[in-house]
Structure 1
Amino acid sequence: MSSINKQQAAAIVDALLAPRTAEMDAARTKREQQREQARALHQKKRGLAILSVISGTIGIAVAHYTGQGLAQGYICGALLGMGIGSLACGMWRRPARN
């Protein structure tokens, strides 16, 4: 009877597990990419929310000094700030074209 040594056994195990290991690596890479995309989207939404609150506050101040309603000033300021912020984020994150 012939027996196999440790190197041969390791080579057999590697050959049997190689396809599964490659699948696991590809799945891990995909999960990491999805996590990074979700983090970037969350960061963008958070920035837009902060910008909206700041713009709304400025809108309240402008509405106060111009004699308009404060709620109307907040809404207009927040929408304007969010619109400008969305455009800026879209232009800033856009990849360069050749």
Structure 2
Amino acid sequence: MAFLLKNVVPWGRTLDEYKTMFQLNYEDLISKKFIGFGDGPASFNTEVTKLGGRVLSLDPIYKYSKKDIYERILETKSIIIREMNNNLYNYN
């Protein structure tokens, strides 16, 4: 069984992860519009924007400042990494 988090943690996905999950290619990334709901501080957003694509993210986390989000990432990073490593075989 996957691990359970009692509090929300800011965690996002990379461009490579989204490309794999959704079978996206370069043409998709620059020609389509993307919207993310609850996608956290995903680097996907920045990476696609730098390529010339369009991404809109809607997440309650954005009510916090960049500094607050960054500090929360630092607080939770080791827990997430540890639990993901402990549960590698529970994910595709």
TM-score (norm 2): 0.25
Larger fraction in helix: 1
Larger fraction in strand: 2
- Greater relative contact order, per chain length (Cα 8 Å cut-off, separation 6+): 2
